């Protein structure tokens, strides 16, 4: 009887075990949806493709958007047109799904067209596909002006002088992106630039020292260092007169006549005026 009772007890235990609920752990391998592209906004509006990349002189980028709550956001950057993408920085979404990556520096990408994209990673470590924000190029370089002629401290009797020189600018810029200004004292004028960056322009001179300033800027407002030369224009000589000719205006007085006679006899060796 004891043996039968033991067997019955064992069977009862087995039935109890079988009746217990069984929980099977499931592995989450499903990546979350990528951050909605329509919700991504940035401090600098990006172009949607390489060909339409936005050029900016702003050195930082802040972007924000939405995703699933508490997900990790990773910012990816490409500098080769999308062939490779590198993870750069991360942040986490709030309990409502909003996120912001603030003040990402663009200085190390100066002169390059760079693409930006973000992914979302859930608590199980599943990462979504990338959502493209767009393409930017950071341009902080300034055009450089060199005045090749005339040299500074030039002296002339002419009423004008021809200024020539060159403007150097970025390879991705053209002359239509550059504004060149010549300033003589307080007057200034825009100067056309040749396709090779050269320029030639004639400016009027006042008597005395003329300070001539050439300065260029690009379409983003990057203003280059001015190039400066001085040109001194001598006093004007009346028409028909030579530097050693005395010109008497009006009716000559006796004293004036005497001066002329002495000048002819002693200063010019008797040569006629």
Q: What's the residue count for the chain?
A: 273
Query: Which are the contacts of 243, defined by CB distance < 8 A and separation ≥ 6?
Result: 237
Phi-psi region of 221 (alpha: psi -120 to 50; beta: other; left: phi over 0): left
SS3 250: coil
Return all residues near 67 (Cβ < 8 A) that are at least 6 apart: 32, 33, 34, 35, 36, 73, 93, 97, 99, 120
Alpha helices in the chain (DSSP H): 2-19, 254-262
Rounded to an integer, what distance in angstroms lies between the CA atom of residue 69 and that of residue 75?
17
CB 203 within 8 A of CB 182: yes
**How distant, in Å, are the alpha carbons of 58, 60, 149, 203, 219 from that of 53?**
14, 16, 38, 39, 15
Output the tens digit of pLDDT for each of the chain's 273 residues.
556 655 565 546 655 655 666 555 567 789 999 999 999 999 999 999 999 999 999 999 999 999 999 999 999 999 999 999 999 999 999 999 999 999 999 999 999 999 999 999 999 999 999 999 999 999 999 999 999 999 999 999 999 999 999 999 999 999 999 999 999 999 999 999 999 999 999 999 999 999 999 999 999 999 999 999 999 999 765 555 454 444 434 444 555 445 444 444 454 444 444
Distances in Å between the Cα of 24 and the Cα atoms of 14, 21, 122 are 20, 10, 21
Strand-strand pairing, 154-156 and 227-233: parallel
Q: Give 107-149 as a DSSP string.
A: GGGTTSEEEEEEEEE-TT--B---EEEEEEEE-----EEEEEE
Q: What domains can be seen in the chain, in order of their start residue?
A: 37-137 (2.60.40.10), 144-233 (2.60.40.10), 241-273 (no CATH)
pTM: 0.69
Q: Of 144, 139, 140, 147, nearest to 216 (Cα)? A: 144
Task: Identify the sign of the CA torsion 135, 76, 89, 69.
Answer: positive
CA-wise closest residue to 164 among 176, 182, 137, 177: 182
């Amino acid at each position: 009887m004891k043996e039968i009772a033991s067997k019955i007890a064992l069977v009862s235990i087995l039935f109890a075990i079988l009746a217990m609920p069984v929980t099977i752990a499931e592995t989450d391998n499903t990546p979350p949806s990528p951050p909605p592209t329509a919700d991504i906004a940035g401090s600098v509006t990006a172009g949607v493709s390489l060909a339409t990349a936005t050029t900016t002189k702003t050195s930082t980028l802040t972007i924000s958007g939405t995703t699933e709550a508490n997900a990790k956001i990773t910012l990816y950057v490409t500098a080769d047109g999308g062939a490779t993408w590198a993870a750069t920085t991360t942040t986490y979404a709030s309990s409502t799904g909003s996120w912001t990556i603030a003040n990402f520096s663009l200085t190390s990408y100066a002169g390059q067209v760079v693409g930006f994209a973000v992914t979302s990673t859930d608590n199980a470590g599943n990462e979504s596909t990338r959502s493209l924000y767009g393409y930017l190029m950071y341009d902080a370089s300034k055009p450089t002006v060199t005045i090749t002629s005339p040299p500074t401290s030039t002296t002339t009797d002419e009423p004008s002088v021809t200024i020539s020189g060159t403007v150097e600018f970025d390879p991705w810029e053209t002359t239509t992106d550059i504004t060149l200004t010549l300033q003589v004292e307080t007057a200034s004028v825009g100067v056309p630039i040749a396709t090779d960056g050269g320029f030639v322009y004639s400016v009027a001179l006042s008597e005395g020292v003329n300070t001539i300033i050439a300065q260029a800027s690009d379409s983003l407002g990057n203003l280059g260092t001015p190039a400066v030369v001085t040109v001194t224009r001598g006093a004007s000589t009346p028409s028909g007169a030579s530097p050693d000719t005395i010109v008497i205006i009006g009716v000559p007085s006796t004293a004036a006549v005497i001066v002329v006679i002495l000048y002819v006899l002693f200063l010019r060796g008797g040569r006629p005026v």
